[in-house]
Amino acid sequence: MAQVLAIDEAYPLPLLPGMLEKFPSEVKPAMWWPKRAATAAPSRTEEDNGWSAEKEREMAEVARVVKERDTAEYVRLSKLVLNCNRVMAVAGPILMGAATVGSALGGSATVVGVVAGALACIVNSFSHGGQVGMVFEMYRNNAGFYRLLDESLSSSLGKPPAEREHADLVETRVALQLGRSISSLRNLPTSSKDPKEFGSRLF
C-alpha cells in the first residue's frame, strides 16, 4: 500500500483532485517509492558479506557523486526546461493577441499583425510539437532515478554488514544502473576529483 501511495503522489491521475502541476514553484526529483525509515549506525559482525572498510568508502563515494552531480544536474535541466515552458506559455497568447489587434486595425499595423501571428505559430508549434512539458517530466524522472540509487546505497550502508546484500551483488547492480564496468566503478572515487566526471555513463 505504501508503494501504491508513493506512486500516486509522484504521478497523480488527472481524474483525481491532486494533479501534477504544470508549472511547479519548486522542482524536485520524482519520488515513486515509499520513504525509508531511519537505520541504526552499522556495526561489525563476524559475517561481513564481502564488505570491507574500503568497499564501504567506495560505495559511499559513488552515492555522493550521484547525489551531488547526477541528481543536481537533472534538477538544473528540469528548472531550465520549466522556465522555457513558462516563457512560451506566456508569449504564445500575447503574440496571438498582438496579431489579432494588428489585423483589426488595418493599414501598417497589419504587417505587425502578420509578424506577430507567425511568431505565435512558431512558439505554439515548438511548445506543443516539441513536447516541452514531457521533456521536463523526463528530466525530473531521471533525477528521481539517481535519487533512488543514492537512497538505496545510503540505506544499505546504514545497516550492519550481515544484513546487507553481498558486496559483489551491490557493486554489480550499481555498475549496471550507471552504465559502467566494475573496474570503472571502482575507479570512480579517484576520477570523481574531476568536476566534470559524473557517476552515470547512460544519460
Q: What is the pLDDT along the chain (203 residues), one digit of tens a residue?
A: 888 888 877 876 655 555 667 788 888 888 888 876 655 544 555 567 889 889 999 999 999 999 999 999 999 999 999 999 999 989 988 999 988 888 888 778 888 889 999 999 999 888 888 888 889 989 999 999 999 999 999 888 888 888 888 999 999 999 999 999 999 898 888 888 888 888 888 76
Give residue limits of the domains in the chain. Answer: 53-90+131-203
pLDDT, residue 14, reads: 59
User: 3-class DSSP state for residue 142?
Assistant: helix
> Under 8 Å CB-to-CB from 167, ≥6 apart: which residues?
49, 50, 51, 52, 55
Separation between Cα atoms, residue 50 and residue 37, nearest integer Å:
25
Which alpha helices (H) appear in 44-181, and where do they start and end?
53-65, 72-105, 109-129, 132-157, 167-178
pLDDT, residue 141, reads: 92
Separation between Cα atoms, residue 173 and residue 76, nearest integer Å:
26
> Under 8 Å CB-to-CB from 199, ≥6 apart: which residues?
62, 65, 66, 69, 70, 146, 178, 188, 192
Phi then psi dihedrals of residue 93, to 5 deg: -65, -35
pLDDT, residue 124, reads: 86
pLDDT, residue 50, reads: 86
Q: In the 8-state DSSP scheme, what is residue 26?
A: S
> Under 8 Å CB-to-CB from 108, ≥6 apart: which residues?
none
Q: Which of 188, 166, 183, 202 is nearest to 68 (CA)?
A: 188
pLDDT, residue 174, reads: 92
pLDDT, residue 17, reads: 57
pTM of the model: 0.78
Burial (Cβ within 10 Å: 0-12, 13-18, ≥19) of residue 60: middle
